Amino acid sequence: MNAGEWLAKASARLDAAGDLDAAVDAAWLLCEATGWSRSSLRTRRGEALDAVVLDRIEAWLDRRASGEPLQYVLGTADFMGLRFHCDARALIPRPDTETLCDLALQALRGRIRPRVLDLCCGTGAIGLSVARFRPDARVLLTDVSADALSLAEENAGALGVSNAEFARGDLFDAAGEEAFDLIACNPPYLDEADMAALQSEVRREPALALFGGPDGLDFYRRIARDAPAHLKGGGVLLLEVGQGQADAVRDLLSWGQCAVHEDLNGIERVVEARVI
C-alpha cells in the first residue's frame, strides 16, 4: 500500500467515525509514523509504506477512530514551539493557552531572576515554557493531581529544563507562604452545562482538569481570594478563562489593576491582574 492509498482509506474511516478533521488527522498519523514533513506529503503519495510503518499507523488509526484524542494517540502535543509528552494523566495543551504564555514572558521582561508559579500545571506546558525561554527564572509548578505532576516532571526532563521545581497540593497549599513575581494559571473552568455537552473525545481527558463548579467560576473565586498574599509588589496574575467568562473573572479581582487580552481568534482569553 502506498501513502496516498492509506491516506484515502484512513480519512474515510475517521470521517465515518465522526472525526471532524479526518483528513488532517490521517496526515498527522502518517507523518509521525514516517518522519515525513506535512509539506512533503503531496510529492510522496506514491511511495510504498513498509510493514513496520503500516503496523504502527494501523494501531494508531484504530485508537483515533475509537475517539481517543490525536495527541494521546501520538503521545505528544506541540506548544510554544516545544514538544510535550501528552497522555490521559493531564489536559491536552491547546494553542489558545499560548496567549497566556506569551503574556507571561512579556510580564517578566526587566525582572531579574523572577520567581514564577504555575498553578494547575497539568503537562507543565505553561511553567516549563517560561522556564525554557527564561532560564534565569525560578519556576514552581503545582497540581493537585499526582499523575499530572509526574507527567510535568517527565516533560521537564525531556525538555532539559533544570530551573523548575514541583510540588503537589490544592492551589496555593503547595506554595506555602512564598510570594511570586508572576502567577499563571489555566484552571478548570467548564460549568455543568459545558460538561454535559462535551465532545466524546474531550471526555477522554481528566474531568478534574475541566470542571470548574456549577457556574465554572469556583477556582477563580479561590484564586482571587488568595493570590494577593502570594504576589510581590508589582506582581502579576494571569488567568486563562473560558469564552464569556472574562467580565465575571475580572470582577473578582478588585484588588488589582486589571486587563483582558484576546487570543488569536479574537476571543477574550486571559484576565490579567497586577498588584497596585
> Considering just the CA atoms, what is the radius of gyration of the chain in Å?
20
CA angle 75, 79, 81 (to 5 degrees): 110
pLDDT band at 276 (very low <50, low <70, confident <90, very high): confident
pLDDT, average across residues 196-217: 90
Residue range 35-59, pLDDT digits in tens: 999 889 889 999 999 999 999 999 9
What's the CA gap between 7 and 14, in Å, rounded?
A: 10
Reported pTM: 0.92
Pair 87, 59: CB distance under 8 Å: no
What's the CA gap between 113 and 231, in Å, rounded?
A: 15
Amino acid at 210: L
Residue 203: per-residue pLDDT: 86
φ, ψ dihedrals at 85, nearest 5° = -65, 140
**Helix or strand holding residue 56 (H, E):** helix 51-65
CATH topology of domain 76-275: Rossmann fold (3.40.50)
Residue 42: per-residue pLDDT: 87
